[in-house]
A = this chain, B = another copy of it.
Amino acid sequence: MLKFIKRSAKKTGLAPGTLVHVGERKVEKIRIRTIEFDEQAINEREFETIDECLPLQEKHTVNWINIDGLHDVSVVEEIGNRFGLHSLVMEDILHTDQRPKMEDFEDYIFIVAKMLSFDQERNELKAEQLSLVLGRNYVVTFQERAGDVFEPVRERLRKGKGRIRGMPPDYLAYALIDAVVDHYFIVLEKIGETVESLEEELVTNPTPETLQIIHHLKRELIFLRKSVWPLRELISRLERGEASLVQEKTTVFLRDVYDHTIQVIDTVESLRDMVSGMLDVYLSSLSNRMNEVMKVLTIIATIFIPMTFIAGIYGMNFEVMPELKWPWGYPLVWCVILAIGMVMLGYFKKKKWL
């Protein structure tokens, strides 16, 4: 989270619309892939430079241009100019710390979302920014690195499964957002597993490190919520038909993603509740342990201190101490000592300390 602040601070002082890549460079080479399809045909190609793939053939097909890697500002600029994107949109694409948002520019819609993954080794949430531009006959997507959650969508396109091939570009945009949201469930599942194993650890062997992990997890969940919450609003606005580029028959599908987003948010809240509860359990288990330590100390001390006192008495060197002369004095003292011990043990049993 702190890294995020630093990156934002880096841009301070530049003119709005200045194209600078803000974020980690996550990939070696930019890769451009296009998929052009209609109900009959599909054409998948890969390019190294942006010039090769533009301009779009002006057919009645849907064109999906996917760019992996953002460090080359000129690529974004080129695409932006070809499609007539606002300079602020280009800036936002390059600036990978955007909140998820949707902006409607009449001719095109600009959508930002977060692709998430969870590293179970280090309990760390990783985010990658997805920028999506939906135009009349194209969808352009920008990702920070190669490898994404869209493979099932491509598969459906290639095999013509489902209705995706015969639908307009807004359906493709929906399908991509849907893939992003679907992937959240996998992230949630992994976090859920971590939470569960942590809970077990908490009961069997809580350590200060457990507390550290709980706090870390709490923070990751806050970050997750921050990524999903604005997405909910974004999809809701699309679904309500605010954007003219989204056709009515797509809205019923958007309602479906919307429901999924709410489920994700609900689950995040549940996980947060669980993690908060774990903190209480941790603290009360600390108190419990302290109690146990104190009990042991108290039992030992309260049994032996009076006994030692008795022994101390008969260690005194008074000349006149008749008991010392008694032949049964010594065994008697032992009896007294043992009686004290018994009484004490009985008392602790009554108190349920043993």
Enumerate chain B residues within 8 angstroms of A222, measured Cβ to Cβ: 270, 273
Contacts of A24 in B (CB 8 A): none
Q: Which residues of chain B are within 8 angstroms of A45 by Cβ–Cβ distance?
A: none
* A188 on the B face (CB < 8 A): yes
Residue of B nearest to A266 (CB): B226
Residue of B nearest to A196 (CB): B2
Q: Is the CB of B17 within 8 A of A163?
A: yes
Of B151, B283, B305, B311, which contacts A287 at CB under 8 A? B283
In the bound complex, residues from chain B placing their C-beta under 8 Å from that of A293 are 291, 294-295, 298, 353
Q: Give the segment of A69-77, A122-130, A207-215 that binds chain B.
A: A207-215
Residues of B within 8 A of A274 (CB): 1, 219
A23-63: which residues lie under 8 A (CB-CB) from chain B?
none
How many copies make up the complex? 5
Determine if A281 is an interface residue (Cβ-Cβ < 8 Å).
yes
Q: How many residues of A contact B (CB 8 A)?
A: 120
Q: Which residue of B lies closest to A150 (CB)?
A: B13
| Complex contact B99–A266 (CB within 8 A) | yes
Given A188-B9, A270-B222, A333-B318, do A161 and B291 touch, yes or no (CB 8 Å)? no
Given contacts A99-B266, A259-B101, contact A319 B324 (CB under 8 A): yes
- A354: CB under 8 A from chain B? no
Tell me which of A131-139, A140-148, A174-182, A240-248 binds B.
Answer: A174-182
Contact B103 A255 (CB under 8 A): yes
Q: Which residues of B contact A81 (CB under 8 A)?
A: none
Query: A219-B274, A270-B222, A294-B293 given as contacts; is B315 within 8 A of A186 (CB)?
Result: no
